[in-house]
């Protein structure tokens, strides 16, 4: 029997910029509106921080730090067309950069353990093949330049669009699209 452990948190509902913005504006005067923002985005933030190579405990700590900072700064929130997801990931990224300045990441991205991915229902052979593919992909990601790797993490772990990634890393949408295209091309090239 599979019983889902539920929390007051809902599942990831995507970027939902309009709903998020309304909640963020309301949270500036009534913090009760912050709770749904937290539940929508907490997993996204953790995934992104783990993808940056943070160890599980550090990623959880930095996730909490990001939301603690967001709670204090919610009155200064401005969507600027990128939405709450980009705003909270920018805070998380800054927190991670601060932490990484103090110490090197303790876990490289290619060391992400399989246990932190959803349990597989496939056969042992298929699972082993998938694990090998993941290790190989991790190696390719590790060879990207840090900004390229960050853009990929924001895209795939953070679920952001090019425009939102640009807002996080401080680049225009077109420059971000080029960055992503180049990063993906490099990853694809290495498979050949």
- Asked whether position 132 contacts another protein by CB under 8 A, the answer is no
Counting every residue, how long is the chain? 192
> What phi, psi does 65 have (nearest 5°)?
-60, -45
Residues 6+ positions from 155 with CB-CB distance below 8 Å: 162, 165, 180
List the one residue from 16, 19, 25, 56 that touches another protein (CB under 8 A).
Answer: 56
- Asked whether position 50 contacts another protein by CB under 8 A, the answer is yes
CB 86 within 8 A of CB 93: no
CA dihedral 106, 182, 47, 16 (to 10 degrees): 150
Kindly tell me which of 2 and 103 has the beta carbon lying closer to another protein.
2
Count of residues in contact with another protein, rule CB under 8 A: 51
List the one residue from 47, 52, 90, 93 that touches another protein (CB under 8 A).
Answer: 47
Site residues for another protein, 76-95, by CB under 8 A, read: none
Q: Which two tokens stand for residue 49?
A: 């921080």
* Residue ranges binding another protein (CB under 8 A): 1-9, 31-32, 34-36, 38-39, 42-43, 46-47, 50-51, 56-57, 59-60, 63-64, 67-68, 71-72, 112, 116-118, 130, 133-134, 137-138, 141, 152-153, 155-157, 184, 187-188, 191
């Amino acid at each position: 029997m599979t019983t889902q452990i539920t929390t007051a948190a809902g599942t990831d509902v995507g970027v939902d910029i309009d709903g998020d913005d309304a909640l963020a504006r309301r949270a500036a005067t009534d913090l009760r509106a912050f709770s749904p923002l937290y539940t929508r985005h907490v997993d996204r933030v953790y995934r992104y921080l783990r993808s940056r190579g943070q160890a599980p405990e550090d990623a959880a700590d930095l996730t909490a730090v990001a939301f603690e900072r967001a709670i204090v700064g919610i009155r200064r929130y401005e969507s600027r067309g990128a939405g709450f997801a980009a705003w909270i990931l920018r805070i998380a990224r800054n927190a991670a950069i601060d932490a990484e300045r103090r110490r090197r990441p303790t876990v490289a991205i290619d060391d992400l353990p399989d246990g932190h991915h959803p349990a597989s229902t496939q056969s042992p052979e298929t699972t082993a093949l998938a694990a090998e593919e993941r290790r190989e992909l991790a190696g390719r990601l590790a060879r990207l330049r840090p900004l390229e790797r960050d853009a990929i993490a924001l895209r795939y772990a953070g679920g952001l669009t090019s425009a939102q990634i640009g807002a996080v890393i401080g680049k225009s949408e077109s420059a971000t699209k080029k960055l992503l295209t180049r990063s993906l091309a490099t990853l694809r090239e290495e498979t050949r």
